[in-house]
Structure 1
Amino acid sequence: MSSDLSPIDRAKFVAAKRAASYVHSGMKVGLGTGSTAAWLVRCLGEMVRDEGLRIQGVPTSTRTAQLARDVGIEVISLDEAKWLDLTIDGADEYDVDLNLIKGGGGALLQEKIVATASDQMMVIADISKQVGMLGAFPLPIEVIPFGWQTTKTLVEETLISLDVLGTSSTLRMNGDTPFVTDEGNHILDLHLNRIGNARQLSLVLNQIPGVVENGLFIDICDVLVIGSADGKVEVRDINKGSTEEIQFDFLDDGNIFIEAAD
């Protein structure tokens, strides 16, 4: 199976496998959205099936909810859970301070709500998502459909006075129609190129009428798990100020990998 995976999928998979090791029976776990988070859900499903893991998962999208049910994870709502032990999700970009851009999958609103309702947020990613300064990836903002073009104009006018390089935005589409989030809203992707002051930008965007939430996750991520195609995984814990590395060895005998001894 390992030979069937692309290098990028190997990196995502080992990051997800390492993150899954932090999940224990009895936990309430936020389940992110996107291709990397999907690997995590599959890893947890394997643990449920093969190791007797018993957890309750709070998904951040209908797509994740369906996948979680398919692999045997008990799915509950955030209202039922009330508070979570851990949320594990991917990211579109991250910087050295573990600030993030998220929302490439269109689930940023639920992702942010779930992440902030957790004792800890863990992000799984590959090294290609690391940047010196946020902004190369278009910043998504969720806006209500009513008057979205007016909201778009207000956002672009506001961006002129902020520390960004670009001020244009585009309505995210799904084929020939606007993309619709699970909450029934639209997504505007802001093409900023560079964000000089992410904290200020986040606060200002959320004051614009029509904007529901933005994809900047500031001071939310606690632990970053970075996977590499060669099986190396680096874990950065911003609260402990620690970094650790482990190595997974890929096999060709049907098992995707084993964890190498230190």
Structure 2
Amino acid sequence: MSVATIQSDRLGANPFVVEGPIVSGSGIPGPNFALGAIAGGDRESEWVYCQLVLASQTTLQPGQWFQWTRDYVASLLTTAAAVVGQRCGVFSGAAQPPTLTGGPVGAITLAAGTYYIWLQRNGQAPSQVATATAALVVAETTTTAGQASAPASATTTTKAIANVNFAAANQTFTATTVNGSNLLGGIAGLSAGSGPFIGAAVAGTGIPGGTTIAGITYSPNGVVQSITLSANATANGTGITITATGVLEATLMRPFLSKVN
């Protein structure tokens, strides 16, 4: 049976906090919520509280896909490990470094151990994708842990991910580049919910090949102010069109693994 739970203003819930590692007798507090607890946010977003056991040092990236069991034990999603019928969602990013590295709503590196994390299952979210087709309503797993795909037609032997939609096959925006600087400025009309997202590959005039988004700064109301790249721009430019791929905005509607393709 289901048991109703409540989030209170006093205790709250932060979906971007990773708790752990949990070590018996260490004095580190145990999990703060019951497994399967739900936290809500804006834009119809929902997160579910899951346990994550890591056998080795692992870096979690925003947009990585996870599946979880009926007992809310999560694991990175791959085609080989995917279990039809299990629910799935994405890691939205971490807000603090509990072990090795981390940053404001970004990637985080965790040592081996037992952790408790919030995984997003509803609303707008970053999604790591190998290929995306605009307005596709069924995605699929890949052999790469944590990465989904949304091709024009299903790939044989993959597992279908039901109830997820991609707004577009890529994202474009305009920005100002400065030769020798890794900061993009002059950005307008971008928000934390719609991307671009950390880890996305970017291309445009004056941006070296293979460059990705390493960091994003926001205003208090969630408007993107600047973007940090993994490489310096090689030219000055104003109103340069930037294309982002690899981590795209997805609309999650409590996705689950529906079948073998």
TM-score, normalised by the number of residues in structure 2: 0.28
Say which structure is richer in helix: 1
Say which structure is richer in strand: 2
TM-score, normalised by the number of residues in structure 1: 0.27
